[in-house]
């Protein structure tokens, strides 16, 4: 397209379309923007992107980081130093070679790099950067947890999944504005919609942006992180393990999708509710038998108690809930149903050795006056919404509402707030430990229930 120059006095104006490649002349004779295709927008370069902190070991003495580059980068590094107020902190940085693996996606091939910083000091702030020796990220900062820390908070997100860049980004950023000192961000599955879509993974990483590089993520896979294998079975997305560096202390075959973390005075158990329920049940039993932390939080994708009509997960409930009951797990955080529902301590009984049988929850419950000691939450942070199907044992429910949750631990008290995408408190409660008894639950001032028709 030729430049069209118009002269007004001493000033020359050049048609924008003549010099801007993002405008094109359509068949109707008008200039229109040209769409930037995903393959172009999410193309990897030598500059690091998709930088994310996770843990593969003890949060008091280690920190893992993973990032992506183009395949031009065959040797990558991370540098780390104790952070202080001087701009010369980097003079004391040590360099660590990264592990590198290729990933061929639907729109590109990239190299994913990971480093697990070890032998760190508890309760210490560090600065780090990643790169190839010439092309570096900015310096980011994180803090290791103090040994036996008993005062901290974290953010919990249900499904992001759809319109991630457009509409989920506001949720994670609003959550950060409310809890900028959060110890980590927990994602209860369905981070994306299509397991092998690199553009959707790019949206997820872009929505969190620098937050991912400063606040560790604790993700578990949902059904949308499952893809079809060649034999027709379901398998974990090829993106999962290259994108995150997570503990490998779970059952064989479920590395980095089922694992435990000890953070301060809390045991965090992440599980894969799309595979091997019985195998994970046996593993969970052993984990909880050996646990010495006062607080126990479990997270996985499919709900024990569904908030959606016709979406009951009876096999999961009857396999895992008796274990939660036996060991008085404090909190179970889930997603999947694209609505919000939160129980009190009174929940239906699961099948047990005494022969108590639970009916299908959406069509009726057996005995929801039983105080099991566990609070179950289903939540959604993305814009995709389903019809709500509330149950009598749900103390709070919501439909058509994007939410995030801020959970704070302070010694023997756990405080919970569910907030909307604009930061308004929607639901809240506190749990308090009691010797030899189940927790004491106190409902917050804001507790809402919505009807199924909303």
What digits encode the pLDDT tens for the residues 19-29?
555 556 666 77
Instruction: Output the CA–CA distances (angstroms, integers) from residue 130 to 69, 88, 102, 138, in the order listed.
Output: 11, 18, 17, 8
138-165 mean pLDDT: 97
pLDDT at 321: 96
CA dihedral 323, 148, 94, 57 (to 10 degrees): -10
CB 169 within 8 A of CB 200: no
User: What is the rounded CA–CA span in Å between residue 42 and residue 198?
Assistant: 8
C-alpha 92/C-alpha 126 separation (Å) is 11
The structural architecture, per CATH, of the domain 151-443 is: 4-Layer Sandwich (3.60)
What pLDDT is recorded for position 451? 59
Residues carrying CATH 3.60.21.10, the chain: 151-443
The model's confidence at residue 263, banded by pLDDT at 50, 70 and 90, is: very high
Q: Give residue 364's pLDDT band: very low, low, confident or very high (50, 70, 90).
A: very low
Cα–Cα dist 274/285, whole Å: 19
Quote the pTM value: 0.90
Quick one: average pLDDT of 138-155?
96
SS3 315: helix
Q: Which CATH architecture has domain 43-143?
A: Sandwich (2.60)
Q: What pLDDT score does 350 carry?
A: 56
**Encoded tokens for 161:** 């999944």
Q: Tell me, what's the pLDDT at 356?
A: 41
Q: What is the predicted pLDDT for the residue at 206? A: 98
Partners of 80 in beta bridges: 94, 128
Who wins on pLDDT, 368 or 43?
A: 43
Token representation of residue 225: 């992180």
When pLDDT is averaged across residues 321-325 and rounded to a whole number, the result is: 96
Q: Where in the chain is the domain with CATH 2.60.40.380?
A: 43-143
Structure tokens that stand for 363 in this block: 């069509």
């Amino acid at each position: 397209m030729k430049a069209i120059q118009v002269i007004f006095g001493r000033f020359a104006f050049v048609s924008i379309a003549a010099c801007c490649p993002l405008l094109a002349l359509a068949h109707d004779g008008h200039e229109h923007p040209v769409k930037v295709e995903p393959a172009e927008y999410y193309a990897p370069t030598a500059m690091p992107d998709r930088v994310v902190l996770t843990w593969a070991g003890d949060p008091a003495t280690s920190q893992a980081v993973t990032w992506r580059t183009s395949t031009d980068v065959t040797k990558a590094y991370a540098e780390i130093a104790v952070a202080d107020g001087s701009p010369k902190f980097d003079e004391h940085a040590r360099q660590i070679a990264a592990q590198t693996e290729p990933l061929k996606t639907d729109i590109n091939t990239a190299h994913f790099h990971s480093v697990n910083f070890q032998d760190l000091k508890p309760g210490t702030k560090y600065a780090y950067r990643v790169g190839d020796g010439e092309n570096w990220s900015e310096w980011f900062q994180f803090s290791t947890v103090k040994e036996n820390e008993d005062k901290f908070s974290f953010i919990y997100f249900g499904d992001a999944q759809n319109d991630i860049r457009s509409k989920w980004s506001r949720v994670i950023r609003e959550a950060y504005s409310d809890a900028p000192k959060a110890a980590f961000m927990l994602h209860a599955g369905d981070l994306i919609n299509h397991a092998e879509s690199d553009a959707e993974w790019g949206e997820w990483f872009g929505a969190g942006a620098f937050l991912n590089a400063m606040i560790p993520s604790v993700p578990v896979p949902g059904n949308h992180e499952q893809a079809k294998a060649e034999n027709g079975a379901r398998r974990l997305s090829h993106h999962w393990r290259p994108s995150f560096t997570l503990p490998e202390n779970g059952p064989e075959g479920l590395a980095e999708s089922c694992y435990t973390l000890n953070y301060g005075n809390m045991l965090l158990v992440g599980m894969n509710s799309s595979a091997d329920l019985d195998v994970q049940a046996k593993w969970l039993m052993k984990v909880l038998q050996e646990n010495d932390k006062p607080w126990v939080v479990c997270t996985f994708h499919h709900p024990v108690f569904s908030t959606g009509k016709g979406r009951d997960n009876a096999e999961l409930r009857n396999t895992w809930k008796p274990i939660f009951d036996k060991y008085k797990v404090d909190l179970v955080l889930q997603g999947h149903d694209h609505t919000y529902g939160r129980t009190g301590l009174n929940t239906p009984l699961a099948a047990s050795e005494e022969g108590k049988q639970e009916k299908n929850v959406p069509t009726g419950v057996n005995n929801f006056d039983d105080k099991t000691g566990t609070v179950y939450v289903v939540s959604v942070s993305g814009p995709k919404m389903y019809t709500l199907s509330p149950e009598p044992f749900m103390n709070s429910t919501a439909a058509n509402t994007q939410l995030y949750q801020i959970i704070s631990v302070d010694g023997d008290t756990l405080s919970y707030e569910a907030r909307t995408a604009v930061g308004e408190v929607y639901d809240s409660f506190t749990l308090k430990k009691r010797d030899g008894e189940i927790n004491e639950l106190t409902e917050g001032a804001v507790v809402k229930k919505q009807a199924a028709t909303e």
